[in-house]
A and B are shown apart, each in its own frame.
Chain A
Amino acid sequence: MTTLDAQPAARPTGVIHDIGYQRYSGPRLGRRHIVGALFLHGLRAAFGLGRTAKAKIFPWLVVGVVGVVAVVLTAVRAQTGEVVLRYAEFPEVLTILIIFFCAIVAPELASRDLHSGVMPLYFARPLHRADYALARLASLVCATFLLLAGPITVMFVGAAFTVGEVGLVWDEFGSYLGALAYVVVHAVVFGAVALLISSLIRRRAIAAGAIVGAFMLTTPVVVVLTLMPNATANQLAGLASPVSLVSGLGDWVFESTGEAGIGGYGPLYAIVAVALVTGCVLLLLARYRKVASK
């Protein structure tokens, strides 16, 4: 070892010292595993797992509220036999909480990396830009799905033990599966919009506000359009907001009760929903093609 007070000329130059670190000679996992790890990390970060207690407060607050609602509904059904809320109505009633959950999680996944300028570190690995964006999106969609699918499963299990007959349990199971598909639609649409917004804003707090704003501001537009003295405008009003777009689509596919008042435009709602998600994903990919460090 050279010491500090040694003559500079006597110091060896350009030597890498072997200071005894363990070498790695095992298999090196490729891009697929990086994406998988990124997805899993995103999913854990969504619920604050592996993070400080402070990061857990808001996600688990939402999980708690949704869970309590499901338990109360199950208990009411078990005691009185009355179905207060069908499975498919569950995500519709709790829309505000889904929006809030997306507003908590999406900035955590996208804005945080942008704010701390670590994007070059991700892309220094054999990870494509699209991989990063899609892994983040998958984490957000999956977390939102779990947020709703868990409580609905609780409701289904409670109901399955309440109704008693095998045939009725099968009916319940059918509507339970339908509700899960509806939850997937919710998670994909809300997640795509929320992640796109938060990928554009560096500050987490502002991104959260912008997500809530984007969802809440479009709702009154729908209300105004439904008041217009024109039947077509009324039936197409739901297209103006992601929230009513999803509920209109759900009305057409899963419930067909006609309560959303979309008339015969169900297929159009489906097309617009697909177009919205596709557009958001394409914009997200375009955003991450450009995004550099700061």
Chain B
Amino acid sequence: MTTISWITARGLFGRRRFLLLFPLPMLLVLLAAMSRAAGVDPGQWGSPIIYGLGLGVVLPVIALIVGTAVLGSEIDDGTLVHVLTKPLPRWQIVLPKLGVATLVTALTAAIPLYVAGVLANSIRFGLGLAAATAVGALVYSALFLALSLVTRRPVLLGLVYVLIWEGLLGNVVSGTTVLSIQHYVMTVADTIAPTTLLEGRVSLPVAIVMSGVFTIGFTVLAIDRLRSFSVAGETS
């Protein structure tokens, strides 16, 4: 299992593409620091930066890039065959990859959100945001990892989920929030550090249970899909 984690981590960090991940968190910290320095009321800038940019864009987009890359890039260049031909149970391939994806996403997204939270309110709020981000990283990674096995176009489908389901519908049709990871993250952060900046729109038990269901469900789906994975190429 450590070998798989090691290969995955090297595959992520060894590419120039990984540099794409750094502008997002830096922008978040920069904007928060700028607003703070200009003396704007945190009640005004907290919501668009922490909620709109941090939890709405930075976390899902990083999770999308990382989560689809840990398995997707190996599927794309065909090296997954080498891993699949080893006498390993499939869960020993999926779980390390999920772990690496979660860890990388959580680190890249939680640190800037912690900084922004501290600048906006208090250390407690920052820690709450960081913890909630880590939970969100796990759920998002499980979802996008499974997507990269279910479809050949995981990034586009992931964008549909993030942009249309969470971005458009989540704000218009209130019922869709029950299936929206973004709102679980907000609820968890709001529970750990209650502030006026964030408002969880789903109840805490729903957030916890649905996060668990998402994570376990999509991980099991990924393991199952990898069990009957077909390497044949196709044109689209």
Contacts and interface: CB of A to CB of B under 8 A. Distances in A.
A282 interface: no
B40 A227 contact: yes
Contacts of B61: 209, 212-213, 216
A220 B163 contact: no
Interface in A194-211: 203, 205-206, 208-210
B139 to A, nearest CB: 19
B164 A206 contact: no
B153 A221 contact: no
Contact of A205 (B31, B35, B68, B160): B68
A99 B160 CA distance: 12
Contact of A220 (B53, B72, B152): B53
Given A58-B156, A223-B52, A224-B49, A203 B40 contact: no
Interface in B128-175: 152-156, 159-160, 163-164, 167-168
Contacts of A58: 153, 156, 160
A210 B62 CA distance: 11
Contacts of B53: 217, 220
Contact of B31 (A55, A210, A224): A224
A203 B152 CA distance: 13
Contacts, number: 91
B125 to A, nearest CB: 19
A100 B20 CA distance: 19
Interface in B49-64: 49, 52-53, 57, 61, 64
A57 to B, nearest CB: 8
A294 to B, nearest CB: 14
Contacts of A212: 61, 159, 163
Contact of B34 (A99, A219, A224): A224
A167 to B, nearest CB: 36
B164 A220 contact: no
A203 B155 CA distance: 11
B45 A227 contact: yes
Given A206-B17, A227-B40, A227-B44, 18 more contacts: A52-B235, A54-B152, A55-B236, A58-B156, A58-B160, A96-B163, A96-B167, A104-B156, A205-B153, A205-B155, A208-B155, A208-B159, A209-B155, A209-B159, A212-B163, A220-B31, A223-B45, A227-B35
6 contacts: A96-B163, A96-B168, A217-B53, A220-B31, A223-B48, A224-B49
